[in-house]
Structures are given as structure tokens and as C-alpha cells.
Amino acid sequence: MRNLMRSSWSRLCGAAVFGIFLLVLSTIAYAGGTLRVATMGEPASLDPHKVSGTWENYVVGDMFVGLTTENPKSEPIPGVAESWTISEDGKTYTFKLRKCTWSDGTPMTAHDFVFSMQRILLPETAAEYASLLYIIEGAEDINQGKAKADSLAVKALEDYTLEIKLAGPAPYFLALLTHYTAYPVPKHVIDKVGTQWSKPENMVVNGPYKLVEWIPNTHVKLTKNDKYWDAASLSLDNLTFYTQEDRAAVQKRFRAGEIDVAMDFASDQIGWLRKNMPDETRIAPYMGIYYYPINTSIEPFTDIRIRKALSMAINREAIVDKVLKTGELAAYSFVPPGVAYYENPSEVDWKDVPFADRQKMAKELLAEAGYGPDKPLEFTLRYNTSENHKRIAVAIVSMWKAIGVKAELFNSEVKVHYADLKQGDFQVARAAWIADYNDAQNFLYLLETRTGANNYGRYSNPEFDNLMREAEVTSDLKKRSEMMQKAEALAMRDQPVIPIYHYVSKNLVSKKVVGFEDNPQDIHRWRYVSLK
């Protein structure tokens, strides 16, 4: 009996140990493999000076690395720059660069950053995001064709020492440098092949993954860059990005195991997902604004009464609570809550007016502007292809109908949609902005006259512009915040944009993906991810 018990106990212990071994083995991340990501949009380009969307950032963000880069929480950390010093007035940054190479083995130096920052600002580059770098001394004049590129205050003091002088102190500057506008591009390749440099057969990068294949409207494939300075830390061998925009189709592929990460999902699926895939469904606070820009450069939208009426007639709470149902916040300000050094975003002054009263006020404003039952306001509302955007647009058109407005819906794929917005080819449209860095300026600069193409509605208010320029050169963070709050109050009075809701990120992440961290900017660098 004693021997039988000992034998049974031995078998039981053996089984337990083996079970624990299998459990541990199942949760260990292994080196290698291919991560498959649905980005929900076709890139307009893979040249970092030619991109402008989050869907493109998911791809180019692991092909290139700037002076600083992001950690898994999307916080700025050293990139090509190993260290830096900042002058007492906060306007001069001196960077010490690591010794590294491009993916073709060519040494990378401070001169590459000088070339790259000059290139993106040249008018002939036509970079839509160039204005993001206007904080650098001389940048705006170069971009507007008023000065030569070499007047930019970005200088190579030595091969591995770079100096950048700013027009004013910018507490967000190190975070700004993580953005693709500040990525280096290979001068030695561009000099040789020109605009063809970003084709797979020519493209040279400095980041952890390099381009292998790009089949438009299908996928982009990257593979590990063995010349990357920290290649030994990379787990994944390859990355495949699927550019499909149909969220329902992407969800089916995710459920079938064909996709590991889907960067968004249709909100009307939230009930099913929470019940059937709770661990894979990731919802988190997101520093972004969903809004409708109004083309203030064309009639009848030059009239503030019309813009205000359209905004007042939207029941934002109904949209977030009944249409989306995923935790978004109704927006009455352009800057989201929780932004650094900006405690109280300026909201519209009618926020607390009961909705029925707002509808009545909206009708009165339209009547003052000459519109009513015998002459209804009519226009086209544009949105880019997405089940979510369509459902929101349908709801808002219904709300506008209640005040006598007739809006027709028009949709197009994301690349075409934003190209039209930047050309000013719209009346009212859907848009969104996700923070490039944690600062209110990154939202409000979209409404400055000098911003150009990203100021979709061509809003121009000299008082707003002056406040933003004054804030740009103010080192006192409290005073700077107060100036931007005054500027935002002007914009919320003028309503060149209709804030609708502040975002949450909505992603589907397979259980076998390790290292995907939710963060307020929803920026994910795949170099930190592995598969188990």
C-alpha cells in the first residue's frame, strides 16, 4: 500500500510538473515570426516627408528613427541621439549622436539630419506636415519661400554633434522629434535616384525594419534590418501590414487568425466583442479629437451663424452613448482633456443649454441667415470609408434635418478623402486629429492661418494667430497655457470646426501578441512586440 501511494504520488507530481512546463512554454515569447497588422488605410507614401496619417505612422515608425523615439508607452526616449543638453533659455538643443549606419551600410551622421530637415521645409517638397517644424528658427520662412534652406538653425557642429535652435522655448520639443516629420532620410540615395528612392528596390532606412514589398491596396511587407544598431533586441523577423479599410472584413480575418492586431474595429460590434473576445478587445483613453471642419472660405459657410447652428444641433451625448457605446467623451472643446500644462480646455459657451433649447436657437440662427422651410440650407457632408463614420454621419444628418437642414452624404477611401480636404474641395467633412505630442499647441496649430493644408476649413482669425505666436515664444508655462486657452475660446466662438467627441482607442490584439501596451497616443512601435 505504501509503495502504491508513493508510485501514484510520483505520477501525480510528474504530471503536475509537465503541466506547469506546458503552461510556461505557452506563455514564453519566442524570437522570430511575422506580425500581421491591419492598419485600416492605404499609405499615400512611405517617404516620411510625404505621409500624414496614423495608418502610415504604423508602418514608417519602424522603418525610421529620429533623434528621439518612443518607448512602449509612447514616451520620448533617446533614438539616434544618445544624449543632449538644453540651454538655460530653453531654445538651443545640442545632440550627441550614436555611431550607426543606414541599412545599406553607409555611415549616418549629423549631416543627414541637416539635409532632412531642410528637405521637408523646401516648398518644392510640398510636405503637408512641414508647419509642425515651424518652432525651429528659420523654418517658416524657408517653407514659405522667403529664405534659403541653409538659413535653417539646424547645424552639424561635428559628424556626430547636431545643434538645433528654436524660435521660442518648446516644452514639447523632444516629443516632437519622435514624429515622422523629424525622421532622417538618406541624402546619398536621394541624390542618386531622386523621387524613386522610396521604392522597395531603392529604399534605404535607419530603423529596425526595412521595406521588402508594397502592393497597393493589399499589403506592405517589412523585414528585419540587420544594420540597425539594436538589431539584437528585435524579436520579430517580419512585419506585414494589411491596408484594408473594411472593418467588418478585418474583424472576420482577425477571428480566423489571419491578422494578429487590428488598429480599430466597428463600434456596433462592441457588444459581441465584449462577450466573445473580452481579452482581445482593447479600449483605452486616446488623445484625439473627432470633428467636422467647415469650409469657411466658401458661401454660405463664411457666416458664423450657420456654423454655430450646425454645431448646436448635434446631440453629442446621443452619439457617444447610443451610436458608439465604447466610452468616447462628448466634445465641446477642440483640445481634449488631460493634455499636459493645459488644465481647462475652452468649451463652447452653450454647452450646458438643454438640447431642445439649442435646437430652437439653431433654427433662429438659420432664419437670421436667410434659411428656413421655404429655403432650406443644403450641402454635402463628406466622410472616409468606415462603418463608424457612416453611422455617425447618418445620425448627424438626421439631427440637422430636425432644424430644417438637408445634408447629402458622400464617402471615399481615406487617401482620396484627405487629399480633397487638403485641397479645400468640400463643404462640411469628417476629420480627426491624434496628438503628435502631448501639448495643446499640437491641436490648436491646426487652426492657424499659416498652417496651410492641414487647416482644412481655411479658418483665419488674426487675433487667434497672434495669441498662438505669442504663446510660442513664452517660457512661462502658465502664461503660455492662458494664451492658448484664449485662442481656443475664439475658435469655439467662431466654430470653423465642430468638435464631436474625444477619442478612445479601439484595437483587437491577439492573445499571442506580447508587448503591445495601450497608451494615450495609440502609437505602437512593433520593435517592442513579440509572439508567443
- Dump pLDDT digits (tens) for 140-161: 999 999 999 999 999 999 999 9
Q: What is the pLDDT of residue 88?
A: 93
Q: Do 521 and 472 share a structural domain? A: no
Confidence check: pLDDT of 93 > 80: yes
Q: Do 466 and 523 share a structural domain? A: no
Q: Let me know if residue 274 belongs to a domain.
A: no
Q: Do 96 and 218 share a structural domain? A: yes
Instruction: Report, as an integer, the average pLDDT of 68-80.
Output: 95
Query: Position 193: which residue type?
Result: V
Q: Let me know if residue 253 belongs to a domain.
A: no
Task: Round to whole Å and give the CA distance between 444 and 176.
Answer: 15
Contact 287, 521 (CB under 8 A): yes
Task: Specify the range with the lowest mean pLDDT, choosing from 224-233, 262-271, 504-513.
Answer: 262-271
Q: What is the pLDDT of residue 451?
A: 87
- 515-528 residue pLDDT tens: 999 998 999 999 99
Pairing of strands 378-384, 428-429: parallel
418-422 long-range CB contacts below 8 Å, 24 or more apart? 418/52, 418/53, 418/384, 419/44, 420/382, 421/293, 421/382, 421/456, 422/128, 422/453, 422/454, 422/456
Angle at CA of residue 431, ends 402 and 306, nearest 5°:
40
Q: Do 498 and 377 share a structural domain? A: yes
Instruction: Report, as an integer, the average pLDDT of 328-353.
Output: 94
DSSP 144: T
Query: What Rg value do the Cα atoms of the chain yield, rounded?
Result: 25
Confidence check: pLDDT of 1 > 60: no
In whole numbers, what is the pLDDT of the chain averaged over residues? 92
Task: Round to whole Å and give the CA distance between 327 and 266.
Answer: 14
- 95-153 residue pLDDT tens: 999 999 999 999 999 999 999 999 999 999 999 889 999 999 999 999 999 999 999 99
Q: Let me know if residue 1 belongs to a domain.
A: no
DSSP 454: G
Q: What is the pLDDT of residue 352?
A: 96
Instruction: Report, as an integer, the average pLDDT of 78-88.
Output: 97
Q: Do 214 and 152 share a structural domain? A: yes
Q: Do 80 and 137 share a structural domain? A: yes
Residues near 120 by Cβ (< 8 Å), separated by ≥ 6?
49, 127, 129, 130, 133, 181
Q: From 180, 193, 186, 239, select the one nearest 37 (Cα to Cα).
A: 239
Task: Round to whole Å and give the CA distance between 160 and 100.
Answer: 10
Neighbours of 113 (CB within 10 A): 26
Q: What is the pLDDT of residue 377?
A: 97
Does the N-terminal peptide bond of residue 300 adopt cis geometry, omega within 30 degrees of 0?
yes
Q: Do 526 and 485 share a structural domain? A: no
Confidence check: pLDDT of 263 > 70: yes
Q: What is the pLDDT of residue 30?
A: 59
Q: What is the pLDDT of residue 28?
A: 54
How many residues can be counted in the chain? Answer: 532
Query: Position 42: which residue type?
Result: E
Q: What is the DSSP annotation of 329-341? A: EE-SSSSPTT-TT
Q: Which three cell numbers stand for residue 108?
A: 549616418
Confidence check: pLDDT of 2 > 80: no
Q: Do 338 and 452 share a structural domain? A: yes
Q: Do 496 and 514 share a structural domain? A: no
Angle at CA of residue 307, ends 305 and 312, nearest 5°:
90
Q: Which three cell numbers stand for residue 213?
A: 514589398
**Tell me, what CATH number does 497's domain have?**
3.10.105.10
Q: What is the pLDDT of residue 83?
A: 98
- 11-57 residue pLDDT tens: 434 444 444 444 444 445 556 899 999 999 999 999 999 998 899 99
Q: Which three cell numbers stand for residue 25?
A: 512554454
Confidence check: pLDDT of 474 > 80: yes
Structural domain total, the chain: 2
Task: Specify the range with the lowest mean pLDDT, choosing from 8-17, 151-160, 216-225, 226-235.
Answer: 8-17
Q: Let me know if residue 151 belongs to a domain.
A: yes
CA dihedral 461, 127, 383, 63 (to 10 degrees): -140
Q: Do 223 and 315 share a structural domain? A: no
pTM for the full model?
A: 0.82
Q: Do 312 and 424 share a structural domain? A: yes
**Tell me, what CATH number does 87's domain have?**
3.90.76.10
Q: Do 169 and 133 share a structural domain? A: yes
Task: Round to whole Å and give the CA distance between 509 and 37.
Answer: 9
Q: What is the pLDDT of residue 338?
A: 86
| Phi, psi angles (nearest 5°) of residue 202 | -115, -20
Print the domain residue range for 448: 286-504
Instruction: Report, as an integer, the average pLDDT of 289-316.
Output: 97
CA dihedral 99, 103, 104, 109 (to 10 degrees): -30
